[in-house]
Amino acid sequence: MQTIVSQTSPPKKSVLYDPKVRGAFYQVLLVLTVGYLFYMAASNAVENLQRAKIASGFGFLNNTAGFDVSQTLITFSAAGSTYGDAFIVGLLNTLVVSAIGIVLATILGFTVGIARLSKNWMVAKVSMVYVEVLRNIPLLLQLLFWYIAVLGPLPQPRDSIGFGAGVFLNSRGLFMPRPLYASDAWVIGTALILGIVGTIVFRRWARKQQEQTGQQYPVGIITLALVVGLPFVSWLVLALVGTNPISFDMPQKGTFNLRGGMQILPEFVALLVGLVTYTAAFIAEVVRAGILAVSKGQTEAAGSLGLRPGQTLRLVVVPQAMRVIIPPLTSQYLNLTKNSSLAVAIGYPDLVQVFMGTVLNQTGQAIEVVVITMGVYLTISLVTSFVMNIYNRRVAIVER
């Protein structure tokens, strides 16, 4: 016994065999290598920047921009705005197209995903073809298609297509009347908010009532009355009592283009349509997988309880499928946001186009601009994952 012990216990064993020592050695090696690479990169960069006489630091954000941007959500002018403002303009444009894109892609994606599982043969096959075609063609190509092939041939402003009510379509975009608010228009806004809050309260109450008594209330009609009716009534009252609180600025033909009104750029439309149709194909697959993951017994049980197919889907299948759907759905949302950077190919002024394009070129401060831009996308990614993790945990608790 003792001999065996003395053989296996290593009195003279080299420290090189100790896993801890080895681990430490590898880690030190890694730190040294990475540190050296970073040091070399940094010192080279400093030297190169000095040689090329490129300024460094973030002071350039306060310099006057000197260029214009086509779509700005904040006031922006070449003379008065800074590179910092240009950054905000680009960021807001990215966020707007992503937010609208996410909403629309979700709707379209769920529709197509559910349609793929439809009992209707035609609907299922057409959805399948849609998914396969859109998923297997690069997004860049689809964007170019929408922008150049679909929106490009729209007529010149002089031959705008009119839809009545001040809505026009031409190669410069979609033109709509822009609402102008008078001083007492806040009443309508307040009515709208009140309506929404009222709806939420009522829905909660109605749900509780139903769970306790089985009594059902006409939720839909009351929602409509609160959200649409209340603002409408307040508008009517205001209009009858005094001046019209909301008037419209109509687009009118100018020398070159329609003037006034609200203009939606074709770049925006092309990017939005491209992102939505492309991402929806992926969301459809996510939704399909999620629904298939719900066991068939659930559907059958719901059917035997007398729920209609629509109700089964809404009340039994989708809530359970959501648990499977949410994580990949989140990554699709992030993909959509990241893919919005392809705007640069079709001239939509998003963050990458304005900031990594024009600002980088005008200032030459590549490192700062790249760091800021990447930082923005990283932040969006991390915040979204964080929020989704919280949501995921909540959904998981419901499972019991």
Partner 1 sequence: MSTAIDTSRFVQHNQIEALPPPNLARGPIAWVRENLFSSPLNGLLTIFVFYLLYVIVPPIIDFLFINAVWTGTDRDACRAETAGHRIGACWAFVIDKINYFTYGSYTISERWRVNIFFLMLAVGVTWLLWLRAPRRDLGALYFFWLFPTFSYVLLTGGNMDLGGGFWVGFVVVSALFIGAFAAMAYLLKVSVKSGAAIGAGIIAVIGITLALMDFDFGLDHVPTSLWGGVLVTLLVATVGIVFSLPFGILLALGRRSKLPIVQLASVIFIEFVRGVPLITVLIMANTMLPLFLPAEMTVDRLARPLIGVAFFASAYMAEVVRGGLQAMPKGQYEGAMSLGLNYPQMMVFIILPQALRIVIPGIVNTFIGLFKDTSLVSIVGIFDLIRTIEASRIDPNWAAPTISYTGYAFAAFFYFVFCFGMSRYSLGVERRLAAGQNR
Partner 2 sequence: MKKAIVSIAFGLTASLLATGASAQATLNSVKQKGYLTCGSNTGLAGFGVPDAQGTWTGLDVEYCRAISAAIFDDPTKVRFIPLAAKDRFTALQSGEVDVLVRNSTATMSRDTQLGLDFPAINYFDGQGFMVRKKLGVSSAKELNGASICTQQGTTTELNLADYFRANNMKYEVVAFATSDETFKAYDSGRCDAFTTDASGLYSERLRASAPDDHIVLPEIISKEPLGPATRHGDDQWTDIVRWTHNAMLNAEELGVAKANVDQMKTSDNPEIKRLLGSEGKYGEAIGLTNDWAYRIIKHVGNYGESFERNVGEGSKLKIKRGQNALWTKNGLQYGIPIR
| Binding-site ranges for partner 1 (CB under 8 A) | 14, 16-17, 23, 26-27, 30-31, 34, 40-41, 44-45, 47-49, 51, 118-123, 126, 132-133, 135-141, 144-145, 148-149, 152, 210-211, 213-214, 305-307, 315, 338-339, 341-342, 344-345, 352, 356, 360, 366-367, 370, 373-374, 377-378, 381-382
**What is the chain's percent helix, strand, coil content, to nearest 5?**
70, 5, 20
The one of partner 2, partner 1, none whose footprint includes residue 69, by CB under 5 to 8 A per kind, is partner 2
Copy the structure tokens of residue 36: 């050296």
Q: By CB under 8 A, is residue 152 in contact with partner 2?
A: yes
Helices (H) and strands (E) in the chain, counts: 15, 8
Among 63, 82, 362, 392, binds partner 2 (CB under 8 A): 362
DSSP β-bridge partners for residue 252? 259
Question: Min. distance of Cβ 66 from partner 2 in angstroms?
Answer: 5
With respect to partner 2, which residue has the nearer C-beta, 231 or 266?
266
The side-by-side arrangement of strands in the sheet containing 173-176 is 161-162, 168-170, 173-176, 262-264
What is the torsional sign of CA 366, 372, 377, 379? Answer: positive
CA–CA gap between residue 265 and residue 137 (Å, rounded): 25
For position 72 contacting partner 2 by CB under 8 A, the verdict is no
Q: In whole angstroms, what is the distance from residue 123 CA to residue 78 CA? A: 51
Q: State how far the Cα of 272 lies from the Cα of 346, in Å rounded to an integer.
A: 12
Query: Is 358 a binder of partner 2 (CB under 8 A)?
Result: yes
Q: Which position among 78, 182, 378, 396 is part of the footprint of partner 2 (CB under 8 A)?
A: 78
Amino acid of residue 125 = K
Instruction: Report the residue number, 7 or 14, with the smaller CB distance to partner 1.
Output: 14
Q: Which of the residues 327 through 356 are near partner 2 (CB under 8 A)?
A: 344-345, 347, 349, 353
For residue 301 the two structure tokens come to 């049980």
The interface region with partner 2, picked from 107-115, 207-215, 230-238, 254-262 by CB under 8 A, is 254-262
Which residue has 């508008």 as its token pair? 235
- Cβ closer to partner 1: 100 or 345? 345
368: partner contacted, choices partner 1, partner 2, none (Cβ within 5-8 A by kind): none
Residue 186: CB atoms within 10 A of its CB come to 11
